[in-house]
Structure 1
Amino acid sequence: MKISIIGGGGLVGSCAAYALQCGGVVREICLIDVNANLAAGHALDLMHGTPSVADQLCTSGGYEQIPDSDIICITAGLRRKPEESRLDLINRNTDLFVGILDEIKKVGMKKSAIVLVVSNPVDILTFVAAKRLGLPATQVIGLGTQLDTIRFCSLIADALGTAPTQTKALILGEHGDSMIPVWSSATVGSLPLEKYPGWNSVLADKIFTRTKGSGAECLSKKGGAGFAVGIAIRDVVDAIALDQNRILPVSTVQDGACYGIDQVAISVPTVVGRTGALQRIELDLWPKELQGLKASAAAIKPTLDTVLKRIG
């Protein structure tokens, strides 16, 4: 399987490439970037490590690499400024993103190819990608709240001193300010989180607040997130490449079948396999969580409508 990462010269794209190399699942990783020399340098660096990791091709190039790619991962975008919300990015990133989509349309892509959108604001741009490329919702997946979810689990585990891999919880909704924590199904080693020793509502609020601000925290401390984003991207790519039918909180264009949410891209539990987003799962949510999820979709809609009018 071949994945082309558009924006592969940047922090997120290069971290994704390294995570995918270490995973050893995909056969070819191609980096595409406006800074072709930087992409070539990253590809060379990755290639040097292949003898100790996996029999992979690590290359770079331009849009001529797209037609034979099985997954097209778009990470390119302008970096979020301190104190700037992800939705604010739409005014600066839409033109860049649409230009990328038009280049993809120009060179063509496999009928079975999956487009994985990572660029922010991811929910808006996931909807734009599906519309602009004329693809069914199954073939366009936004990274959505998969990143927020693993951040969330890591912070819960850190606070309780539990094993991160046994700590399970979800963030749904917008990858942004209106995201919602799903405490109702959170567990540690299959034990409901609310029954775990030391758990309380004060700690819950503190963890969620830090989860929501994690992107800004990384931005202020190191200039932007990279490693965990790369891992989150690998989670989605592996689910596709290995046809895992894995349930992930990724963003797709909704059609009203799940929680009654329609005509907006947002993260709900989604079965991801070789052909993309196979099915959406409507988990039982507490009334407050369901209300929050619907409010999150409503928060995205006005900006999406404005963007769609602007790009035609």
Structure 2
Amino acid sequence: MKVSIIGGGGVVGSTAAFAIQCGGGVSEICLIDANKDLALGQAEDLLHGSSLVADQRIYAGDLGEIRDSHMVIITAGLRRKPDESRLDLIHRNVDLFLGILKEAKQIGWRESTTLLVVSNPVDILTYLAVRYSGLPASRVIGLGTLLDTARFRSYIAAKLKVPATQVNGWILGEHGDSMVPVWSSVRISGWPVQQWPGYSSQFEREVEDLTRKAGAEMIRLKGASAFAVGLSIREVVHAVLLDQRRLLPVSTWQQGKYSLRDVCLSVPTVVGCGGVRDQLEIPLSPREHVALQHSAKVLAETIRQVEDRLSHTAAPSDAEKVSAAPASPATTSSTNSHIARAPDSTTTKQATNTGDAQRVIPRSAWQLAR
């Protein structure tokens, strides 16, 4: 099984490659980056340790490597400029992302490829990947709140002094300010957290605050978040390539769960061979349900702003238009979604030729910008 990482020279891409290497679940890892020397250096560094881990082929390549990749991971993104608004940064990252998708589509995806979106804003870019990549919606997954969920569980464990692997619970919705901690789902070795010694409403508030600020705190302390996001990426890769059919909080195209439609955000999703196998509704409290609806509205408004701008930038060609609705999960028959209103050539050229476009940032850095 081959995994290609676009943005593999950066902190998140290279850390993900290391996590995947240590997991031993794939036979081939290709790092792709605008900074070719950086990608080559990261690949060589990983290769030097291969005799201590697993028999894997690890190398740097170009975007043409996606043709025979079983899974493609996009971690590339742009840094925020001084005095730049959040929305302007979103637009620049959208332009870069659509440029990557346009070139990838021209090269051609492997028929069974699953695309994992890690770049931020992850829910918006996952939505655009469903629309523009040419892949069925079931084969497009955003990392979503998987990292937030891992942080959430770890903070609960640390504060209650229990093993982290014994904590279960979810964060759903947007990977961002409107994320929804689902306290009604939290269990410690099967026990509701509300019955555990040390639980209180103050405990809830403290854990939520730590979780929301975790990305910015990592930047303050060490410049970037890396290890936890790399491990989160590996969870999705193994679930897909090993057909583990794991239930994960990842960002996917919504078609009715929790009454959500036409948006990508995180709900409990069965991930296995073929990508999205199913989506489930875990019980939510009334407050949590309202918060999830609000999260969807926040994302829908941002999507509206992005699409309004794209509609004034460039219209899709006839060859790029597809009238079918986005594909349903892999358990049902599917067709491709609306394809591509890609940025015009001037925008794409500017996005790919500037110095900024060669810089790859960890997804947690987005949280500081927010």
Q: What's the TM-score once normalised by structure 1's chain length?
A: 0.96
Q: Does 1:212 align with 2:199?
A: no
CA distance in 2, matches of 1:16, 1:142: 15
1:238 aligns with 2:226: no
State the SS of the aligned residue for 1:15: helix
1:22 and 2:10 correspond? no
What SS does the aligned partner of 1:295 have?
helix
Q: Counterparts of 1:4-83 in structure 2 under 5 Å? A: 4-79=4-79
How many residues align structurally?
Answer: 311
What is the CA distance between 1:191 and its match in structure 2? Answer: 1.0
In 2, Cα distance between equivalents of 1:115 and 1:130: 10
CA distance in 1, matches of 2:226, 2:83: 18
Residue number in structure 2 paired with 1:260: 259
Deviation at 1:85, TM superposition (A): 9.4
Deviation at 1:82, TM superposition (A): 10
**Aligned letter for 1:283?**
I
> What is aligned with 1:146?
146
- Kept in 2: contact 1:64–1:107 (CA 8 A): yes
Give the C-alpha shift of residue 87 in structure 1: 6.5
Give the Å deviation of 1:88: 6.5
In the alignment, what sits opposite 1:298? 297
Partners in 2 of 1:15 and 1:83 — Cα distance?
A: 30
In 1, Cα distance between the equivalents of 2:96 and 2:235? Answer: 26
**How far 1:41 moved relative to its partner?**
0.6
- The answer as to 2:309 corresponding to 1:310 is yes
Query: SS of the residue aligned with 2:98?
Result: helix
Deviations 1:51-86 (A, max 9, x none): 110011111110110100000000000246899997
Distance 1:222 1:123 in 2: 26
Q: Take 1:233 and 1:169, find their aligned partners in 2: how far apart are those partners?
A: 18
Q: Structure 1 residues 302-311 or 86-95, which shifts more?
A: 86-95
For 2:269 and 2:89, the matched residues in 1 are separated by 26
Aligned-residue RMSD, C-alpha: 1.6
1:218-265 Cα distance to aligned partner (Å, 9 max, x none): 112211211110000001001011101100000011112x00100010
Amino acid aligned to 2:298:
A
Which amino acid is the alignment partner of residue 18 of structure 2? Y
* Pairwise CA distance, 1:269: 0.2
Q: CA deviation at 1:185?
A: 1.2
Residue type of the alignment partner of 1:196: W
Contact 1:82 1:219 in 2 (8 A): no
Equivalence for 1:203: 203
Q: How much does 1:42 deviate?
A: 0.5
| C-alpha distance 83-210 of structure 1, shift in aligned 2 (>3 A) | farther
Does the 8 A contact of 1:30 with 1:58 survive in 2? yes
Q: Tell me which of the two structures has the higher relative contact order, counting C-alpha pairs closer than 8 angstroms and 6 or more residues apart.
A: 2
SS in 2 for 1:66: helix
Matched, 1:176 2:176: yes
Percent identity for Structure 1 against Structure 2: 54
| CA displacement at 1:210 relative to structure 2 | 1.0
Say whether 1:270 aligns with 2:269: yes
Query: Does residue 99 of structure 2 align to residue 99 of structure 1?
Result: yes
**Residues 232, 215 of structure 1: CA spacing in aligned structure 2 closer, same or farther, 3 A cutoff?**
same
What is the distance in 2 between the residues matched to 1:146 and 1:164? 15
Structure 2 Cα separation of the partners of residues 107 and 58 of structure 1? 22
CA distance in 1, matches of 2:289, 2:169: 16
Native 8 Å contact 2:141 2:252 kept in 1:
yes
Amino acid at match of 2:158: D
Change (3 A) 1:205 1:264: same
Does structure 1 retain, via aligned residues, the 8 Å contact 2:2–2:69?
A: yes
- Pairing 1:282–2:281 present: yes
Question: How far 1:306 moved relative to its partner?
Answer: 1.8
Amino acid at match of 1:127: Y
User: CA 1:85–1:136 in 2, change beyond 3 Å: closer, same or farther?
Assistant: farther
Supply the AA of the counterpart residue of 1:200: S
Summarize the Cα distance change of 1:86–1:214 in structure 2 as closer, same or farther, 3 Å threshold: farther
In structure 1, what is the Cα distance between the partners aligned to 2:177 and 2:88?
11
Structure 2 residues not aligned, in runs of 5+: 311-340, 342-370
2:105/2:134 contact within 8 Å kept = no
2:58 alignment partner, SS class = strand
Q: Distance in 1 between matches of 2:197 and 2:276?
A: 37
Q: Which amino acid aligns with 2:121?
A: P
**Letter of the 1:264 counterpart:** V
**What is the Cα deviation at residue 137 of structure 1?**
1.5
- Rounded to whole Å, the distance in 2 between the matches of 1:152 and 1:81 is 30
User: Partner of 1:41: helix, strand, or coil?
Assistant: helix
Q: Is the 8 A contact 2:116 2:141 kept in 1?
A: yes
Take 2:85 and 2:251, find their aligned partners in 1: how far apart are those partners?
18
Residue 139 of structure 1 and its aligned partner are, at CA, apart by 0.5
